[in-house]
Amino acid sequence: MLNNIKSNYFLNRIFDNIRKIGFLKLIKYNKNLQKKLSISIENYIQYFYQTEIEIIPTEIMDEENENKNIFINLNGDKSLYHIFINDDREELRRNFLWTNEKVSKIKIFIDNKTEIKSELFKNCSCIREIKFIKFNRTNITDMSYMFHNCKSLINLDISKLRTDNTTNMDGMFFNCPLLTHLDVSNMKTENVLSMNYMFGWCSSLKELDLSKFKTNNVQSMCGMFNKCQLLEKLDLSNFETDKLTNMSCMFQYCSALKELEISKITTNNVTNMGLMFSSCSSLEKLDLSNFNTNKVTNMSGMFQLCSSLKYLDISSFRTHNVKNIMFMFDRCSSLTYLNLSNFVTDNVHSMEGLFYGCSLLSNLDLSNFNTCKVENMSGMFCECTSLISLNLSNFNTSKTINMDNMFSECIFLKELNISNFKVNKILTAKEMFHKCSSLISLDISNFNFKKIINKDNIFQGCSAELIQKISKFN
């Protein structure tokens, strides 16, 4: 028994649970084993204590072997493990790996027949070490969320884990916040279709070698490295991404990332880049000149909170299919230059917070912007404190509803051309020019303030000279 179940605490809890629920009135244990030990099972439990459990599949159990009377079967459903006692195959359902704080280490033996399902160790928040000793199954297709939410996991040895035919690795290591090292060099990924949040929230990982990853069939990498906040560099130069369609949140919250090698990534079929680099606050340079964005429809928050970003090359971007660019450059507070000359915004519906907090941008040429479908411009230039002049005479605002805080705190803005603004549909313009203290004149002859429902503090903090000039329109 010691060879397979090495936790008297675990056994004790089983017996206690059986007594309480009356699941089994009598446990038939091997009498020869009791004679060998010269003590009862209950006394054995009281005298011995270990914290290691070895999980043995039923198919390799030798029923004549008295040392294998108690074992754990992996053939249960996704959320429950089945514990069998002796040859009776009486079953006691129990999420022992979820709640048993005394169980901290697991060794796994998997033969050719044992059924394995996804989410195998999901929410096993007490386990500190998992090691695969034997794993002969090669036809397992789904390993999604296999170690999801293993919050105490420190050591994970998957060198023997067979992933030859696996197609789904979504969230496989998601939220393993104590893992500092993860060796995935033996993982076969050539058949994988989805890697969404695969390493997401592995917030203690300091390095990750993916040089042997084959990604030629992967279609989605949404949030793949989300919140890997100690990773300082990441080399994806070997990634083949011809079939990739989703890169949203891929590097979001990688706040320590200083080096990112993605120059060879192809994005020909990608449709979603929303929040892709959001909160990569240590990145200083990003060259995306190789990116093909012809099919992209979502770029919202793509570079949001990249506060250290000084160089950004998006000259190759084609945005004719993009519908949402809200908060795209939000608080890119180190950017001094931004070339958007190739941007086509004909289909964009929201520009909310587009340049919010871009405090070092002194010039913005948006003469090519088509805003005919834009409904929301709130906070678009808010806190662009270095802007001196801004010409938006080409802006079509016929469908715009919201202009709240649009130019708020542009404290050095002296020239602002919005003479062609049509504001017939605007419902709210709260603090639109709030603290634009350097503005001396402003043509708002097209504004119909009577139709604007919320115009609170619209000129608050503006110069007395400006307020006097525009008072006749308000």
**pLDDT over 90 (residue 38):** no
Among candidate residues 318, 313, 311, 278, the one with its CA nearest the CA of residue 297: 318
One-letter amino acid at 173 equals F
Residue 390: predicted pLDDT: 97
Identify the pLDDT of residue 202.
Answer: 98
Q: How many CA atoms lie within 13 A of 9 on its CB side?
A: 13
pLDDT tens-digit profile of 70-99? 444 444 443 334 444 433 334 333 355 666
* Token code pair at residue 278: 């959001």
Q: List the structure tokens of 294.
A: 């012809």
Cβ neighbours around 230 below 10 Å, total? 16
pLDDT at 2: 36
Q: How far apart are CA 209 and CA 227, in angstroms?
A: 17
Q: What is the pLDDT of residue 69?
A: 36
pLDDT band at 448 (very low <50, low <70, confident <90, very high): confident
Percent of the chain whose pLDDT exceeds 90: 63
CA separation (Å) from 127 to 93, 96, 386?
19, 11, 52
Per-residue pLDDT reduced to its tens digit, 12-29: 555 555 444 433 322 333
Predicted confidence (pLDDT) at residue 112 exceeds the cutoff of 90? no
Strand order in the sheet with 105-110: 5-6, 52-55, 105-110, 129-135, 155-157
Answer whether residue 113 shows pLDDT above 70: no
Average pLDDT over residues 212-218: 97
Residue in 379, 374, 317, 380 with CA at minimum distance from that of residue 347: 374
Alpha helices for 89-206 (secondary structure H): 96-99
Collapsing DSSP to helix, strand or coil, 113 comes out as coil
* pLDDT (0 to 100) of residue 33: 38
Per-residue confidence band for 182, with pLDDT thresholds at 50, 70 and 90:
very high
Q: Lowest-pLDDT range, 112-116, 302-306, 312-316?
A: 112-116
**Confidence (pLDDT) at 343:** 95
pLDDT-derived band of residue 225, with 50, 70 and 90 as boundaries? very high
For β-strands 52-55 and 5-6, DSSP reports them as antiparallel
Buried b (16+ CB within 10 A) or exposed e, 162-179: bbeebbbbbbbbbbbbeb
Q: Give the model confidence (pLDDT) of 388-443 as tens digits.
A: 999 999 999 999 999 999 999 999 999 999 989 988 899 999 999 999 999 998 98
Average pLDDT over residues 96-116: 66
Q: What mean pLDDT do residues 272-287 have?
A: 97
Environment class of 154 (CB within 10 Å of its CB; exposed 0-12, middle 13-18, buried 19+): middle
DSSP state of 272: B
**What is the rounded average pLDDT of the residues 20-40?**
37
Label residue 100 by pLDDT band (50, 70, 90): low
What is the reported pLDDT for 415?
A: 95
Q: Give the pLDDT score at 115.
A: 62
| pLDDT band per the 50, 70, 90 thresholds, residue 126 | confident
Token look-up 């909160």 returns 279
- On average, the pLDDT of the chain sits at 82
Residue labelled with tokens 């929201």: 350
Distance in angstroms (rounded) separating the CA atoms of residues 272 and 278: 14
Q: How far apart are alpha carbons 324 and 30 in whole angstroms? A: 68
CA distance 306 to 321: 24
Residue 277 pLDDT grade (very low, low, confident, very high; cuts 50, 70, 90)? very high
What pTM does this model have? 0.83
